[in-house]
Amino acid sequence: MTTPCIIRGLGHCVPETRLTNADLERMVDTNDEWITSRTGVKERRIAALGETTVSLSHQAALRALENAGMQAEELTHILVATFTPDAYIPSSACMLADCLGIIGRTAMDISAACSGFLFALEAARAIICLHPEAKVLVAATDVVSSRLDYTDRSICILFGDGGGAAIVTADTGLAPAGCAQVLDVLLATDGSAHGLLTVKGGGSGAPYKPGETVRRDFFVEMNGREVFKYAVRAMSSICKKMLEKNSLDKDQVDVFIPHQANLRIIDAVGTRLEMPTEKIFTNLQKYGNTSAASVIIALSEAREEGFIKDGNLVLLSTFGGGFTWGSALLRF
């Protein structure tokens, strides 16, 4: 049996430094018109020296705790979804727990690329089923710039850095106004497509020897066209499945927040779902694709800006390397 869960607080944090399309024109052979028409991205935020997955997660977590009216001390579990951890050891979750000044709790990283937030949200729900008193911090953060080759114009224009956080607890019926009920989460993967979107270098399958300079495989590599096609199919079909499973019509959805990868992908998914554009929240124009952080930043910002109102039914969808994809249904 599922224990009903709520998101008690949301927060996000993006670096101050902006990388605009004009800046990229000076770095690679590209132009604002190409980037805007192919992706919709106008600028992205890039981590400064010392700004990391852990530090962005920390700021996002503090905001989520404040939003929830909770103290870090109350947290029982810390999850960090990322493909750009500060280090292989220790986990970013252990480092985040240290930043928050808490010791002796469960802390672990989750790897699902751009779908990281939904995979971590589902893990939080499972933890709460086992431990109904749990108060789980779900952070989803990527410093994608640390794994981008800024001489590769086909990829470096797509991504930006950022982090988001949500505090997830059981729904005791006593939650203050403003919380979101997590009605359902659906996840899927297809490992047979693993070669289409990769960051292999430095892993045990592509190790580096002392003194060796980084190879191409250290950075994000992608077959953009294939990723595009698969992402459209996967996100639209899992959203349809989510609506069917919950006996909902698309008209009952108030806000749709898809993975903020590319406006053309979002338009294609919106068309397949027959979702009116005014219900679709986008912020990729200013942040680019922030990977695991993408939908949690969008969710936090949409709530903060009043795009999501009390009572709204919100549909989320993600897609990432693996391939991984998912959908979640929230009621604010």
Active-site residue set = 114, 259, 289
CB of 82 closer than 8 Å to CB of 114: no
* Nearest CB to ligand ACO, comparing residues 209 and 225: 225
Q: Are strands 221-222 and 255-258 parallel, antiparallel or unpaired?
A: unpaired
Spell out the residues 6+ positions from residue 325 whose beta carbon is closer than 8 angstroms to its own.
115, 187, 188, 189, 231, 234, 235, 238, 317, 318, 319
* 313 near ligand ACO, judged by CB under 6 A: no
* 42 near ligand ACO, judged by CB under 6 A: no
* Nearest CB to ligand ACO, comparing residues 94 and 227: 227
Stretch that binds ligand ACO, among 13-21, 225-233, 279-287, 301-309 (CB under 6 A): 225-233
Neighbours of 118 (CB within 10 A): 30
* 234 near ligand ACO, judged by CB under 6 A: no
Give DSSP secondary structure letters for 116-170.
HHHHHHHHHHHHHHH-TT-EEEEEEEEEGGGG--TT-HHHHTTB-EEEEEEEEEE
Question: Residue 263 CB, nearest distance to ligand ACO (Å)?
Answer: 9
Stretch that binds ligand ACO, among 127-135, 203-211, 217-225, 244-252 (CB under 6 A): 217-225
* 41 near ligand ACO, judged by CB under 6 A: no
* 34 near ligand ACO, judged by CB under 6 A: yes
Which residue, judged by CB position, is nearest to ligand ACO in the bound state?
224
* Nearest CB to ligand ACO, comparing residues 161 and 171: 161
Strands (E), 1-82: 5-13, 18-20, 43-45, 77-81
Residues that bind ligand ACO (CB under 6 A): 30, 34-35, 38-39, 113-114, 153-154, 157-158, 197, 222, 224-225, 227-228, 231, 261-262, 289, 291, 319-321
